Structure formats: structure tokens, C-alpha cells
């Protein structure tokens, strides 16, 4: 197993170095790489990232701000690991919890793992509205997809790289978070959940999500749930990434990724697990 941790950063000069150092200093049970996308920052985020010399870190910059979703997709196109894990640059999560997600994969129990924030347990929500909003949207997703998730919007989603690359993803903003989970649930994938810690920040401290993102989340849940199901395609090669429709042109840089979808989660577990 090789883990690609992907991080989007937009004007995070206060926290970016601590976030990067936290990821790099953790002791993992596998090889890792950290892919950081500077999403058109106008503060000193880019300068601080340029000073990072660890060979496990790859930094890529968007000249203009394209949104968190676009940044994560750019990072995923550069990933060389067998698994992908988004990780925030704002210190709301801690890298020590990443090992909790890796453990059930190494034990062969599952291939998709979510690190969930449990309300009132090892967490700090700065706003009751955010906590209840997440619970409400999570319940809506469970009803629409006949699932039983605990935390729809957790950042920590450990997903096989071929499976992630095969998802049809088009959201460039915070909506990508919802679109990833909705797409997995639509295919029948049910993530294995492990508890993680969380210390939320306020808008005054730089939190960027708003009620508009919640409204967009509702639209995405319904759009993915009721979109036409793609035709199942025949398996024509034994190479896992090619079989799952992932083509990455590294010479072309970030974003050069073509995705083809599949019909069932069981298929992906067999190929990528």
C-alpha cells in the first residue's frame, strides 16, 4: 500500500506549514506522498510551500482560485499511490488519525474507509448550526441511498486510487465532497467508518463554507441519485488502473485525467482492493 495524501490550500498562511509538518511527522505503516495544491492564494501560502524541501511533498499551483474541488482533482491527477486521502490545511483534523483509516485496509477488511466525527465525542464544533446541518444532510443522504453513514462531510475519505479516478466528478467547489460520497453510495459502496478527532474553526478564523454550500449539497445528492445509470463495460485488461478507466498523463500536468464509470461497488472492491 502506498498512500497519496492530497491537500487543497487557499490563503492558509497561518496554518499551512503546521498542517504539512503534521502530515510528514506522523509515523505511517506504509509509504506516503503529500500533494499540495496552492489554489491561487494571494497571501504567503505559496512562498511558505516553496520552502518545503521534503522529497515526499509535491506542490502544484493554480494561477487563479478554482475552488477546493478543482484543487483536489488536480492533486488526484498527480497521485502515484494506490490509495487517495484528502486532508485539510486548516488543522481541523490531525494526521495521527490517518493510521486509524489505514489499519482496516491493511487487515483486508475493506477498501473504502471514512474517518467520522462523532457528535460530542473527541470533537469541538464552533457552531451548532454546522453540526446540525451536517447531521441533517447526512440523514438525507442515508434516506436517498438506503445507507447508514454517520458523517457525510468528513474530510477523511480513504479510497483506492483506481476507484476514485473512475468516479464521474464535475464539482469544482466544496460540492465535490458531497459528490464523491454520493457517487460511491450510488454504486453500492458502503464505507467502513472509524472515529477521528475534530476541532472546527470559525469564520473569523478562516472557515469558508456557507449556507449556499449546504443548498448545493442537497442539489448534488438528488442529481447523483437520479441521474441515468451508465452502461456496464466489459473488462478488457488486467491492469487495475486501465480497467477502472483511469488515464493520467503526467507530462500534461495536473488535471489531465480521464474518468470512466462502472456500475457496481463490488467490481471496484475486486479490482482495487
53 alpha carbon, distance to own chain's centre? 24
Please give the sequence-ordered ranges of beta strands (E in DSSP) within 112-219, or none if there are none.
113-116, 123-124, 157-160, 192-195, 198-199
C-alpha dihedral (165, 170, 171, 177), degrees to nearest 10: -30
End-to-end Cα, the chain, rounded Å: 10
Q: What is the pLDDT of residue 15?
A: 94
Mean pLDDT in residue range 21-29? 97
Q: What is the pLDDT of residue 263?
A: 35
Mean pLDDT in residue range 111-139? 84
3-state SS class at 233: coil
Owner of C-alpha cell 459528490: 179
- Please state the domain extents for the chain: 2-272
pLDDT confidence band for 202 (50 / 70 / 90) = low
Q: What is the pLDDT of residue 207?
A: 56
The CA distance from 104 to 63, in Å, is 38
Task: Give the percent of the chain with pLDDT over 90.
Answer: 70
Which position has the higher pLDDT, 40 or 246? 40
Q: Is the pLDDT of residue 108 over 70?
A: yes
The angle that helices 68-78 and 175-186 make with each other, rounded to 10 degrees, is: 60
Q: What is the pLDDT of residue 101?
A: 98
Is-contact 260 245, C-beta < 8 A? Answer: yes
Q: Specify the pTM.
A: 0.80
pLDDT confidence band for 261 (50 / 70 / 90) = very low
Q: What is the pLDDT of residue 134?
A: 87
Q: Is the pLDDT of residue 124 over 80?
A: no
pLDDT tens-digit map of 126-184 = 778 778 888 999 999 999 999 999 999 999 999 999 999 999 999 999 899 999 999 99
pLDDT confidence band for 259 (50 / 70 / 90) = very low
Question: Which has the closest alpha carbon to 134: 160, 153, 116?
Answer: 153
Question: Strand pairing of 157-160 and 113-116?
Answer: antiparallel
The CA distance from 93 to 120, in Å, is 16
User: Environment class of residue 26 by beta-carbon count within 10 Å: exposed (0-12), middle (13-18) or buried (19+)?
Assistant: middle
Q: What is the pLDDT of residue 213?
A: 77
Q: Is the pLDDT of residue 50 over 60?
A: yes
Q: Is the pLDDT of residue 118 over 60?
A: yes
Helix (H) or strand (E) holding 222: helix 211-226
83: left (phi over 0), alpha (psi -120 to 50) or beta: beta
Q: What is the pLDDT of residue 136?
A: 93
Which position has the higher pLDDT, 249 or 65? 65
Which position has the higher pLDDT, 120 or 185? 185
Owner of C-alpha cell 485539510: 88
The CA distance from 256 to 144, in Å, is 32
Q: What is the pLDDT of residue 246?
A: 35
Q: What is the pLDDT of residue 234?
A: 40
- Count of Cβ atoms closer than 10 Å to residue 74 Cβ: 23
Architecture of domain 2-272: Alpha-Beta Complex (3.90)
Q: Is the pLDDT of residue 24 over 90?
A: yes
User: Environment class of residue 95 by beta-carbon count within 10 Å: exposed (0-12), middle (13-18) or buried (19+)?
Assistant: buried
Amino acid at each position: 500500500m502506498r498512500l497519496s495524501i492530497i491537500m487543497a490550500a487557499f490563503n492558509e498562511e497561518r496554518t499551512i506549514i503546521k498542517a504539512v509538518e503534521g502530515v510528514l511527522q506522523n509515523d505511517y505503516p506504509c509509504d506516503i506522498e503529500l500533494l499540495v495544491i496552492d489554489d491561487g492564494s494571494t497571501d504567503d501560502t505559496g512562498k511558505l510551500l516553496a520552502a518545503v524541501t521534503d522529497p515526499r511533498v509535491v506542490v502544484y499551483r493554480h494561477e487563479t482560485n478554482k475552488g477546493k474541488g478543482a484543487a483536489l482533482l488536480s492533486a488526484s491527477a498527480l497521485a502515484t499511490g494506490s490509495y487517495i486521502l484528502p486532508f485539510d490545511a486548516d488543522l481541523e483534523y490531525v494526521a495521527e488519525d490517518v493510521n486509524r483509516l489505514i489499519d482496516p485496509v491493511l487487515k483486508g477488511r475493506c477498501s473504502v474507509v471514512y474517518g467520522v466525527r462523532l457528535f460530542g465525542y473527541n470533537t469541538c464544533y464552533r457552531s451548532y448550526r454546522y453540526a446540525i446541518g451536517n447531521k441533517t444532510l447526512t440523514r438525507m443522504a442515508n434516506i436517498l441511498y438506503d445507507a447508514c453513514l454517520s458523517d457525510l462531510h468528513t474530510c477523511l475519505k480513504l479510497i483506492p486510487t483506481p476507484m476514485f479516478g473512475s468516479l464521474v466528478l464535475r464539482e469544482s467547489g466544496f460540492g465535490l465532497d458531497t459528490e464523491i460520497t454520493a457517487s460511491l453510495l450510488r454504486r453500492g459502496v458502503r464505507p467502513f467508518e472509524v472515529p477521528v478527532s475534530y476541532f472546527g474553526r470559525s469564520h473569523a478564523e478562516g472557515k469558508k463554507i456557507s449556507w449556499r454550500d449546504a443548498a448545493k449539497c442537497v442539489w448534488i445528492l438528488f442529481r447523483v441519485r437520479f441521474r441515468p445509470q451508465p452502461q456496464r463495460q466489459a473488462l478488457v485488461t488486467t491492469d487495475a488502473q486501465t480497467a477502472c478507466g483511469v488515464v493520467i498523463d503526467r507530462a500534461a500536468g495536473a488535471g489531465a485525467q480521464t474518468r470512466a464509470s462502472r456500475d457496481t461497488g463490488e467490481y471496484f472492491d475486486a479490482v482495487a482492493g
